[in-house]
Amino acid sequence: MKRLPLLLLVITLFTASTAVQSQQKMADLIAANFQFAENQYKLLMQHVTPGKMPQRYEQANNNWVNMEIQWWCSGFYPGSLWYIYEQTGDSSIKKEAERALEVIKPNQFYTDHHDLGFMMYCSFGNAYRITGNEAYKQPILNAADALITRFRPGIPAIQSWNKSKKFNCPVIIDNMMNLELLEWAARNGGNKKGSEIARLHTETTTKNHYRPDYSSYHVIDYDTATGAVLQKRTHQGYADNSAWSRGQAWGLYGYVMMYRFTKNKAYLQQAQNIAGFILNHPRLPADKIPYWDYDAPNIPDAVRDVSAAAITASALLELGQYTKGKQKEKYLSDATTILRALDSDQYKAAPGTNGGFLLLHSTGALPFNSEIDVPLIYADYYFLEALKRYKDWYLK
């Protein structure tokens, strides 16, 4: 009878020891990746075109693609630099981050599309959070004002792209990400109307973007006067009714973030439902790095999208902060699986290669034969964010 308590003690000690070892492995993984990122981005810095921002690297022809600052990705390079500087303290990384901010600073007044959150909050937002420098705050508030001009009350939602031959008033699932800019600005001296707009946009997205299985359409096209849905389409996915993997990740992240600001339990439930769709999908590979579209016809030979995995990992780590018990353990476990996969040779570049980018095998817009199986700047950004979140929230 005395053996049972002793056995339980042994099991408890073994479990605790295993947990400590696991945490140490993750701590080592995170530290090594930020050091890796510091070295890689010092290489990438050498290939940034003046007045532009790096977007991808094409290994086949050894070509660094740099884009105009109005491109939706322009905030991810400085944002990544700030994450790296925060963890390593490297002064040359900080100097380059400061230079990059000056380049994209005019975007604070840009109103020609919806991606002000990506462009200005991921960049200036991180700079302000890390340094407390007040000079970085006003551009964020100005950018929120610029984004508010795209709100269409008749829908009600923020118009993503301008009217074209293909769409009247398109709203894409990606737009959930830009609501963080509005919510943060409303709480930090900016236009408080932005918070209400963010909530209205979220409600409209829940109503019209999501299917019964909690997968999302990519594009909903609206009549601005009546709010009627004109089309439910895709732009970057396989088909209108398919589940484009990065779109699912954008939605997951967006609802988790909106719950952070509002504590609206409906948003938390929506995030959990989306997470369930992603994590329980029969075509999600064991390493949790999704194919570019869950309905791609050539699975398992379809290309992966590492960017979708990195976004999902970051979102799951935050979702775990708002849940308990087995659900929390699952979100942490699946996020950890993704991070360990991204740390592997299969998805992470060898030092000094990949043009200085960190991750391999992202897919931007396959239907346009664009950015297929290449490193992309936003995959790096959300990978670094996920590493930081794991360190801050789950390492004891």
Neighbouring CB atoms inside 10 A of 14's CB total 10
Give the SS3 label for residue 307: helix
Decide if 249 contacts 308 (C-beta within 8 A). yes
* Ordered DSSP codes for 144-196: HHHHHTTEETTTTEE--S---SS-SSEEEGGGGGGHHHHHHHHTTTS-THHHH
CA angle 20, 21, 27 (to 5 degrees): 90
Tell me the catalytic residues: 115, 174
Of 289, 288, 173, 175, nearest to 242 by C-alpha is 173
Of 232, 141, 133, nearest to 182 by C-alpha is 141
Cα dihedral across residues 152, 157, 158, 164: positive or negative: negative
DSSP one-letter code for 74: T
Sheet of strand 229-233, all strands in order from the earlier edge strand to the far edge: 170-172, 219-222, 229-233
Decide if 155 contacts 222 (C-beta within 8 A). yes
Q: What whole-number distance in Å separates Cα of residue 24 and Cα of residue 42?
A: 27
Q: What whole-number distance in Å separates Cα of residue 173 and Cα of residue 193?
A: 21
Q: What whole-number distance in Å separates Cα of residue 360 and Cα of residue 311?
A: 15
Q: How many C-alpha atoms does 282 have within 13 Å on its Cβ side?
A: 1
**Do the strands 170-172 and 157-158 form a parallel or antiparallel pair, or are they unpaired?**
unpaired
Query: What ranges in the chain are assigned the alpha helix state H?
Result: 3-44, 76-88, 91-104, 116, 126-131, 137-148, 179-186, 193-208, 245-262, 265-279, 306-321, 325-342, 377-394
Decide if 105 contacts 77 (C-beta within 8 A). no
